[in-house]
């Protein structure tokens, strides 16, 4: 090869390299621009619904996830999802500065594009690991597996031709950073280790004695569940007194009194419950370790609606943030009222007044005070939020208990389902009617407080 030919070949090779480099640079620029212009509402809700489904399963299988503990976990998971992608939701704003003692959170840089499904996946994986830190090794493996599999399973949201490795790494880091920031705040709420040993700085709870006061109930006479839960910091309520339940009727053993008549109603229904009433009682029991708990029942309903309506990621995030925060605050407010008033359970009253051998036939009375009904508070709060999001007259199918052979069931509205859930506790023989109705008042107040949060800028 002569020098002239060598120079031509070298120049040609250089031009090819330059061309390829220019092509790669152009492709990278195009990918960056593509991600930069895509907002969270242009992606499906798949990341959200998949992580929610796993959280429901983990709640059922992880020790210590009683209803209040489960609702708290869902609250932080919903918040982490929302906060991680809210920079990609035009017209929406962070809840930092609106929630109690949450003054600031990490801020996404506007000139550094993020891939929102990757952000959400990283954030939910990190938050799920931290919320279910005492899960079994097998379930921790399920968390890892889901995080790895989502980009492969949902190619329409994780198309590698639309982003660069730099964007993915940045998005992953931002999602994890957001989860860690929210968890740092969560650890200061008073409920972080409720699933573990009693807090060392707490004396054993001793219920106050007196007529009409709660005492441990048969058959197990178990110790009171989470007596200090009502002292936890709520998400939204400035104080649990912001949403009080109306005062229960004055305790009385006189046959003409409201209290006596409420107890008599429980006893009469228990002895002659209809098949429908028995069905309602069992359907809404939502026992921990057997189901995802009462809050999980409503979260299952919402997750199903997001799937069937093919919701986008932004809609799923704001829905789950509001719903889960409301249910968590509902349990905090309800538990505060329970242990402030310490109203006795129907079984205690009935055994002392009507029948010393009576116990509810459908389920065991749970180990905490009666007033108000936690199911009523939480279900009314959930229904209030879902009314606002999906519409008050929205009919829906509940598939929560299909695997137990108890569904599907169709409801004409969220209120209809919430009312049935509340009354189910009366039919089960574990709550007075006034406990049901008082809880509904408190739950509706909680929903209103949560719906007053400013998620939208305008």
Write the pLDDT tens digit of every residue in 356-367: 999 999 999 999
Residue 199: inside a domain: no
Write the pLDDT tens digit of every residue in 271-312: 999 999 999 999 999 999 999 999 999 999 999 999 999 999
Specify whether 409 is located in the same domain as 322: yes
- What CATH number is attached to the domain comprising 129? 1.20.144.10
- Residue 165 exposed, middle or buried by CB count within 10 Å (0-12, 13-18, 19+): exposed
- The residue behind tokens 């120049």 is 11
Express as a percent the part of the chain with pLDDT over 90: 87
Write the pLDDT tens digit of every residue in 427-442: 999 999 999 999 999 9
Specify whether 290 is located in the same domain as 387: yes
Rounded to whole angstroms, how far apart are CA atoms 39 and 42?
Answer: 6
Residue 100: inside a domain: yes
- What CATH number is attached to the domain comprising 392? 1.10.606.20
Express as a percent the part of the chain with pLDDT over 70: 90
CA atoms within 13 A on the CB side of 14: 6
Specify whether 373 is located in the same domain as 242: yes
Mean pLDDT over 367-391 rounds to: 98
Range of the domain at 150: 40-186
Residue 368: inside a domain: yes
Mean pLDDT (the chain, rounded): 92
User: Residue 393 — pLDDT band, cuts 50, 70, 90?
Assistant: very high
For residue 397, the cross-strand partners are 410
Specify whether 161 is located in the same domain as 237: no
Write the pLDDT tens digit of every residue in 212-241: 999 999 999 999 999 999 999 999 999 989
Specify whether 169 is located in the same domain as 253: no
Mean pLDDT over 85-109 rounds to: 97
Specify whether 306 is located in the same domain as 429: yes
Window from 31-40, 162-171, 371-380 with minimum mean pLDDT:
31-40
Please tell me the total count of domains within the chain: 2
Residue 17: inside a domain: no
Residue 152: inside a domain: yes
| SS3 (DSSP) at 248 | coil
- Apex 299 CA angle, 397 and 81, nearest 5: 130
Residue 268: inside a domain: yes
Q: Please, which residues have CB within 8 angstroms of residue 245's CB and are 6 or more apart in sequence?
A: 334, 337, 371, 372, 377, 438, 439, 441, 442
Specify whether 360 is located in the same domain as 416: yes
Residue 384: inside a domain: yes
The domain boundary, picked from 152, 186, 220, lies at: 186
pTM, two decimal places: 0.92
Q: Is the pLDDT of residue 137 over 90?
A: yes
Specify whether 430 is located in the same domain as 369: yes
Rounded to whole angstroms, how far apart are CA atoms 360 and 363?
Answer: 6
The domain boundary, picked from 186, 214, 245, lies at: 186
The domain boundary, picked from 155, 171, 186, lies at: 186
Specify whether 351 is located in the same domain as 445: yes
Specify whether 53 is located in the same domain as 157: yes
- Whole-number Cα distances in Å, 366 to 69, 73, 258, 305: 15, 21, 23, 31
Residue 128: inside a domain: yes
Q: Please, which residues have CB within 8 angstroms of residue 135's CB and are 6 or more apart in sequence?
A: 58, 61, 62, 143
Write the pLDDT tens digit of every residue in 21-54: 444 444 444 455 566 779 999 999 999 999 999 9
Specify whether 180 is located in the same domain as 249: no
Specify whether 120 is located in the same domain as 246: no
Q: Are 375 and 422 in contact (CB under 8 A)?
A: yes
């Amino acid at each position: 090869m002569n020098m002239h030919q060598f120079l031509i070949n070298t120049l040609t090779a250089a031009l090819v390299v330059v061309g390829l480099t220019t092509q790669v640079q152009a492709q990278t620029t195009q990918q960056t621009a593509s991600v930069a212009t895509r907002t969270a509402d242009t992606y499906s809700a798949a990341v959200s619904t998949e992580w929610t489904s796993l959280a429901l399963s983990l709640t059922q299988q992880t020790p210590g996830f009683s209803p209040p503990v489960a609702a708290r976990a869902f609250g932080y998971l919903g918040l982490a999802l929302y906060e991680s992608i809210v920079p990609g939701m035009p017209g929406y704003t962070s809840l930092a500065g609106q929630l109690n003692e949450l003054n600031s959170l990490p801020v996404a840089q506007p000139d550094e594009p993020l891939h929102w499904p990757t952000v959400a996946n990283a954030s939910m994986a990190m938050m799920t690991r931290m919320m279910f830190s005492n899960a079994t090794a097998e379930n921790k493996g399920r968390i890892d597996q889901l995080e790895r599999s989502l980009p492969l399973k949902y190619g329409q949201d994780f198309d590698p031709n639309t982003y660069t490795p730099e964007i993915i790494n940045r998005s992953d880091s931002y999602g994890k950073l957001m989860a860690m920031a929210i968890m740092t705040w969560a650890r200061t709420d008073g409920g972080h280790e409720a699933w573990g040993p009693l807090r060392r700085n707490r004396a054993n709870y001793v219920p106050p004695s007196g007529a009409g006061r709660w005492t441990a109930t048969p058959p197990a006479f178990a110790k009171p569940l989470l007596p200090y839960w009502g002292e936890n910091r709520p998400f939204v309520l400035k104080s649990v007194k912001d949403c009080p339940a109306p005062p229960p009727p004055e305790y009385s053993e006189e046959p003409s009194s409201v209290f006596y008549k409420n107890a008599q109603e429980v006893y009469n229904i228990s002895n002659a419950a209809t098949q429908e009433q028995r069905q309602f009682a069992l359907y809404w029991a939502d026992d921990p370790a057997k189901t995802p708990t009462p809050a999980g029942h409503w979260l299952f309903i919402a997750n199903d609606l997001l799937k069937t309506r093919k919701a986008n990621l932004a809609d799923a995030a704001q829905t789950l943030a509001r719903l889960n925060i409301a249910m968590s605050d509902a349990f905090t407010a309800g538990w505060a009222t329970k242990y402030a008033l310490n109203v006795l359970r129907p079984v205690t009253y009935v055994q002392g007044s009507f029948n010393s051998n009576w116990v509810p036939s459908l389920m065991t009375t749970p180990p905490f005070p009666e007033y108000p009904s936690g199911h009523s508070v939480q279900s009314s709060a959930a229904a209030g939020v879902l009314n606002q999001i999906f519409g008050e007259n929205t009919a829906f199918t509940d598939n929560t208990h299909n695997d137990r052979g108890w569904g599907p069931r169709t409801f004409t509205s969220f209120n209809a389902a919430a009312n049935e859930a509340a009354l189910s506790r009366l039919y089960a023989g574990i709550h007075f009617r006034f406990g049901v109705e008082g809880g509904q008042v408190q739950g509706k107040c909680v929903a209103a407080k949560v719906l007053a949060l400013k998620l939208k800028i305008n």
